[in-house]
Amino acid sequence: MLVNDMIHGLYPEAVTIGEDVSGMPTFCIPVQDGGVGFDYRLHMAIADKWIEILKKRDEDWKMGEIVHTLTNRRWMEKCVAYAESHDQALVGDKTIAFWLMDKDMYEFMALDRPSTALIDRGIALHKMIRLVTMGLGGEGYLNFMGNEFGHPEWIDFPRGDQRLPNGVVIPGNGYSYDKCRRRFDLVNFHFNSYFACVVIC
């Protein structure tokens, strides 16, 4: 409350977005009205719902559940929707593109060879998932890092091994910068297997 009050007092044009999974009722109510004072809340349930749905067969998708999740928010509470979460992709899960197309992305998305039914279906569903999320999910949309050009890889920042208190070691990536960037160069590849990923956008 104090931070939101200070930000909006010093910079009235500033916008604050809060991440809250508790569903706190006063999260986006102005501080002067007794609220926490955020302008928008991240609509975090949407990304979890898409992963849950993508694990099911197509015929088991229930449109009512999808629409309910996308529109389940308080009246007049502004939300920022997103179809996939950076957290999910960085902690061992897969991006939506990988859920839909998996390893076929590497071999069958080039312009110099035919695609597959899996790729065609994946691109179509990827577009529809993002369209319905943008349309029903809230007043703002948060793009997944790299999806400006249909980035096929996850983004992974340099990190070392982590030792948990119970002695378990979570391996790092050797402080590698290999996947610590967006692939803006994909648009320049004319016969690279990644090039057709641009179509996803």
pLDDT at 157: 78
Give the residue with greater pLDDT, 101 vs 112: 101
Q: Is the pLDDT of residue 193 over 50?
A: no
pLDDT band at 186 (very low <50, low <70, confident <90, very high): low
Residue boundaries of the structural domains of the chain: 43-188
3-class SS letters over 165-197: CCCCEECCCCCCCCCCCCCHHHHHCCCCCCHHH
Q: How far apart are CA 5 and CA 32, in angstroms?
A: 8
Most confident of 3-7, 87-91, 138-142, 145-149: 3-7
Give the residue with greater pLDDT, 200 vs 118: 118
pTM over 0.75? The answer is: no
pLDDT digits over 122-154, tens only?
A: 989 999 999 999 999 999 998 876 555 455 556
pLDDT at 173: 87
pLDDT at 71: 94
pLDDT at 99: 87
Q: How far apart are CA 82 and CA 20, in angstroms?
A: 14
Question: Would you state the structure tokens that stand for residue 24, as one six-digit string?
Answer: 């706190």
C-alpha dihedral over 32, 33, 37, 43, to 10 degrees? -170
Which residue's entry shows tokens 């179809």?
Answer: 83
Strand order in the sheet with 40-42: 17-18, 40-42, 79-81, 140-141
Q: Is the pLDDT of residue 80 over 90?
A: yes
pLDDT at 179: 73
